[in-house]
Chain A
Amino acid sequence: MMDCNKVREIVTSARDGGLPTDGTPAGDVAIALAHAGECSSCASWIDASERIDRSIRIGLAREIPDLTPRIMAEWDSARQQGDIPLTTRLSLMIVAVLNAGLAFMHLAGSGGLFGVQTGPHSGAELAAFELAVAVVFAMTAWDGRTRGRMAFMAVISALTLAGTVRDLVMGSTSLVAEMVHLPVLVGFSLMLIVAAAHGSPRGPRNLGYRSDALPQTP
């Protein structure tokens, strides 16, 4: 003898198409259906559950907003980001490594190779600067984003270039010594290429969540 609860579970599960895989024996299904045909309580319950299923479907069957244009804008943005040529990424990564190398050179006190004589304190500061620049280049090579980084790099590059030109004109430095700044200038040029050719993908979206819309927890 099958109890009413079991009958209701089997019949509604069958209605959902959930029986073939849940291991319910075919004989049990037949027994449940026969029971439902004879038991008015089960018939009434099954009928009510069917109405409720329908109510839920109807209740949530609003007109669906067409988000397609916005979705495809996301697609286009993601594609732009993904389409940065490998050569550009690799070049950025190479200058990042060069800047990191310069950082270690300053830390090791071997800046004299390029005519940069520094003490331990200044060497550490120069190393911090070179490492920061290296991180910016590496991040841009990785994610293709330039927004928020361009201003930082533009100031550094402009001041570096201005200082180099001034010192070369005044004869206070040599071209070889100034080669130490080449990775920064090349890296910034690559970032300009990325920004101009591929745009700057959006950052995290502010969805403007409204705290008054928090659903009630049962």
Chain B
Amino acid sequence: MPAPGDKPDTMESVEILAQAARKGDRRAFERLARECQPAVWRYALSVVHDQELADEIAQETWARAVRSIKRFRGDSAVTTWLIAIERRVIADVLEALRKRPPLKADDDQVVAEAEEFPSASVEIGVLLNDLPAEMRDAIVLTQVVGLPYEEAATALGVKTGTVKSRVFRARELLVDAYREVLPAREAEEAT
């Protein structure tokens, strides 16, 4: 059984799979799901920084995709369509989270969650969390999800030039942050 993210065995593209799934082809949708899961899941993780929540967002995104695949006309790339759905799911989730009172996490839970995230994630948190949301979305969609600027623009509902400038502005901020932490990290490594 292929793992999520494995390339399809044939040259069949996800676009063709989507069209077949639209007509009710279960196997095509299953292959589409395997192919596009990484993009959907990583985008969720980049926003919420919580693996469990990323799972739930990804699953809800796919549930909505199942219900609306019949309406997918192929005007945009499949990944772009999925990301557009996912952004609505994320908005719903964040809204639901904001309405709920914070849970009282006990110390063990805090420690367990801290251990769940290795140092690489902390760096990502530092790098991405400090960015304004629109810049973070632009850089994640283009660098992690791998969308071309035009497709990222469609997913975000902005112009291509806006995505380009947001990506560049995000890079400027990230390079500045990177240069700030670099000397400290080098000193740490030297000791």
Which of A's residues lie within 8 Å of B, judged by CB?
Answer: 8-9, 12-13, 16-18, 21-22, 45, 48-49, 51-53, 55-62, 64-68, 70-72, 74-76, 78-79, 205, 207-218
Q: Which of B22-61 contact A (CB under 8 A)?
A: 24, 26, 29-30, 33-34, 37-38, 41-42, 45-53, 55-56, 58-60
Q: Which residues of B contact A22 (CB under 8 A)?
A: 149, 160-161, 164
A interface majority secondary structure: helix
Binding site for A on B (CB under 8 A): 3-5, 24, 26, 29-30, 33-34, 37-38, 41-42, 45-53, 55-56, 58-60, 62-63, 66-67, 93-94, 96-98, 100-103, 105, 120-121, 123-124, 127-133, 139-140, 142-144, 148-150, 160-161, 164-165, 167-168, 171-172, 174-175, 178-179
Minimal Cβ-Cβ distance residue in A for B30:
A72
Chain A residues near B52: list those with CB within 8 A: 210, 213
- Residues B5 and A21 in contact, CB atoms below 8 Å apart: no
Q: Considering the complex, give the chain A residue whose CB is closest to the CB of B120.
A: A59
- CB neighbours (8 Å) of B5 from chain A are 64
| CB < 8 Å neighbour of A18 from B30, B96, B98, B164 | B164
CB-CB nearest in chain B for A216? B129
Which single member of A48, A60, A74, A205 contacts B178 (CB below 8 Å)? Answer: A48
User: B97 touches which one: A8, A18, A209 (CB < 8 A)?
Assistant: A209
Residue of A whose beta carbon sits closest to that of B46: A60
How many inter-chain contacts with C-beta < 8 Å in the A-B complex?
177
Q: Is the interface of B mostly helix, strand, loop or mixed?
A: helix
Contact across chains for A70 and B164 when beta carbons are under 8 A apart: no
CA distance A47 to B174 in the complex (A): 12
Decide: A210 and B174 in contact? CB cutoff 8 A: no
Q: Given the complex, which residues of B lie within 8 Å of A57, measured CB to CB? A: 143-144
CB neighbours (8 Å) of A65 from chain B are 4, 41, 51, 55
